[in-house]
Amino acid sequence: MAASEEEINTKLTFRKYEDGVHRWRSQGENIFNEDTSHKCPTYVHRTPPCQGSCPSGEDIRGWLNIVRGIELPPEGVSMQEYAFRRSTDANPFPSMMGRVCPAPCEQGCNRNNVDDFVGINSVEQYIGDTARAEGFRFGEVPPVGKHRVAIVGGGPAGLAAAYQLRRKGIASTIIDEHDELGGMFRYGIPGYRTPREFLDHEIDRILEMGDIDTRMGTRVGRDVTVEQLEQEFDAILWAIGCQTGRRLPLEHSDAPNCISGVAFLEAFNKGALQVAADRVVCVGGGDTSIDVVSVARRLGKIDELPEEQKAEFVVGGFTAHDSAYAASRQGADVTLTSLFKRADMTATEHEVEDALREGVKVLDGVMPVEIIVNDEGRATALKLAECTVENNVPTPVEGTEFEIECDLIVSAIGQGGDLSGLEDLGNERHLMDSDKFFQHPNRSGHFVAGDIIQPHLLTTAIGHASIAADSIERYLGGAEFDKRPKVDVHHFDLLQKLLETNLEPAEFQHEATWGTNEADFAVHNYEDRSANEIISHERLFLGHFPFESRHHRESYGPDSTAVLGHFEERSKSLNEEDAVAEAKRCMSCGMCFECDNCVIYCPQDAVYRVKKDEKTMGRYVATDYTRCIGCHICADVCPTGYIDMALGDH
């Protein structure tokens, strides 16, 4: 939980020592021994928790440091383009993810222990929107080899896999049953959250890499068999997502006006659903349910809607609304129910706040217990009761039942895969199994990514795709499947940075050398533990960072009086000045950001800046071992936890 501004300004939020503590915390080691050192500083690169919390493994600290001007781009490349390159190394959708990702990275941000998290999403949107405005393209890709991969599903996972495979020189064909690519980006999220002009641009940028073919309107298991794909392609990636919604576990959940949130949103995003119903109740509590109720408030109702034009018939695909209906819309009564109290709902907090402002009624801590139907079998009310939840199992509280009259009940309590024609590949949960390399356990040459493994976040599906692409490359090359890193993300690579800046180490002469700070065949006292360690706030010198308010994006969310027919985008991108200022709030956990504390406070002048012509990101300071007395001051005042007193005895 982030500290409030009032708390920051009225009391200390960081203490290195408690009152009465006057000795160095590590009593087990004597760090001074006359004029010799017990331990000397080592510069240790660790993964920051923002990146460790990002399911797609973006080098968030890296592109924030580029935006803020700490890591400089190569000659001839702008800050914006270099940040775009770093961001899209893991995720090719910065505009989309900057808008709709629930940002687990921000929850993990160590800055929460100082004031408030860094607005990572807002800076990512700035990078993505600038890339579109400036026409940035992905870098050079290698020529394709002899292999081609079938990617079944053109959503976030499938598109990200095609992108990562093409970067490896592997061609692919995306097969999708829809008319357009995008999957959940296009059909599961309303356009005012994923503006189609930005979505189309990011998809087109992937296709422009070349050797990525598409077969739209084609369903595997109906229009083409799995066996035919196996004969035509060298490997198959299943990224079909979860297109079916779970029914409420109650009698009469098959009533015609009881529909799933997935189907409701797809009908809206295809343009078929122009109005909702007079009284809409959505059962959920997650982000999908928020999208349902927000869309329902925007669509409203029509009093004289013909029977055959009711929402459930449109959602079922039996008919479609005429767009002229929009002129007759009136406000609808929309209610969201949740098993969990508001503080524990899985929906993003600001999305819940937007829904409340737009006029949605939220009933939390309640569970549905009965669907009441009329003589025609249509639901007329939903009976609910207050509930307790233990181990995710709700129990109704006796005597608290009440009813909500409704014309449409939407279930947004989970999703499943549509495996018709693909039953042999599925499991008992109507999903697909995979191992840690995202291989299908029962089919050689078959791989799996995204929601069809387990419904989760868009960024999770994109992370699956990256690892699956690595596995496919190994499979096609006949290589062994190596153990994945403990911290399996897209790490900053100091050697690659040195190569980029023409500072790569000299060739090793195989001479016995120990404890030197002058040899040029290695990076002096640098250690990379990023594949194994995530740095926590306890390792940082938080007292270095003053309170600084976040630089927020402008929001255009309507209130309850203006929500009807309001389909404009809600978040405006940061300008360059605010994006840079927000990036500067990043504490660069686990990586030097050139504050000079270690140089300034070293009493022996042992810590020094490297020469200007040798300086680059991750190689800014070094230590003269002949001067170091192991006093630990440099490690104590390092804001980012980059310095460990860990380098041997001498």
Cα separation of 492 and 61, whole Å?
Answer: 9
Burial of 25 (0-12, 13-18, 19+ CB in 10 A): exposed
Which residues of the chain are modeled with pLDDT < 50?
Answer: 27-35, 650
Cα separation of 49 and 111, whole Å?
Answer: 10
Report yes or no on 381 lying in a domain: yes
DSSP three-state, residue 405: strand
pLDDT score recorded for residue 629: 85
Report yes or no on 208 lying in a domain: yes
- The answer to whether residues 393 and 433 belong to one domain is no
Q: Are 408 and 259 in contact (CB under 8 A)?
A: yes
Report yes or no on 564 lying in a domain: no
Phi, psi of 336 (to 5 degrees): -110, 130
Cβ atoms within 10 Å, residue 322: 9
Cα separation of 273 and 294, whole Å?
Answer: 14
Cα separation of 373 and 377, whole Å?
Answer: 5
- The answer to whether residues 320 and 181 belong to one domain is no
- The answer to whether residues 402 and 272 belong to one domain is yes
- The answer to whether residues 379 and 284 belong to one domain is yes
pLDDT score recorded for residue 508: 74
| Of residues 558, 570, 566, the one with CA closest to residue 326 | 566
Cβ atoms within 10 Å, residue 363: 16
Distance set, CA 523 to CA 385, 445, 568, 611 (Å) = 64, 41, 52, 13
Cβ atoms within 10 Å, residue 594: 15
Domain that holds residue 163: 148-243+417-477
> Which of 431, 448, 477 is the endpoint of a domain?
477
Report yes or no on 423 lying in a domain: yes
- CA 535 and chain centroid, separation: 19
Phi, psi of 131 (to 5 degrees): -60, -40
- What CA dihedral angle connects 208, 438, 180 and 206, to 10 degrees? -10
Length of the chain: 650
Q: Are 588 and 638 in contact (CB under 8 A)?
A: no
- The answer to whether residues 224 and 316 belong to one domain is no
Q: Total domain count for the chain? A: 2
Residues 167-176 pLDDT 10s: 999 999 999 9
- The answer to whether residues 333 and 382 belong to one domain is yes
pLDDT score recorded for residue 19: 67
Cα separation of 126 and 88, whole Å?
Answer: 13
pLDDT score recorded for residue 34: 45
Instruction: Please work out, in degrees rounded to the nearest 5, the angle formed at the alpha carbon of residue 552 by the alpha carbons of 201 and 344.
Output: 95
- The answer to whether residues 194 and 309 belong to one domain is no
Partners of residue 405 on adjacent β-strands: 381
Q: Are 297 and 275 in contact (CB under 8 A)?
A: no
> Which of 411, 435, 467 is the endpoint of a domain?
411
- The answer to whether residues 359 and 426 belong to one domain is no
DSSP three-state, residue 185: helix
> Which of 359, 392, 411 is the endpoint of a domain?
411
pLDDT score recorded for residue 514: 62
Partners of residue 528 on adjacent β-strands: 45
Report yes or no on 626 lying in a domain: no
Report yes or no on 83 lying in a domain: no
Report yes or no on 254 lying in a domain: yes
Cα separation of 602 and 626, whole Å?
Answer: 14
- The answer to whether residues 198 and 278 belong to one domain is no
Cα separation of 292 and 310, whole Å?
Answer: 16
Q: Are 608 and 56 in contact (CB under 8 A)?
A: no
DSSP three-state, residue 272: coil
Cβ atoms within 10 Å, residue 403: 12
Distance set, CA 144 to CA 88, 102, 129, 237, 445 (Å) = 20, 35, 30, 18, 19
What single-letter DSSP state applies at residue 537?
G
- The answer to whether residues 294 and 361 belong to one domain is yes
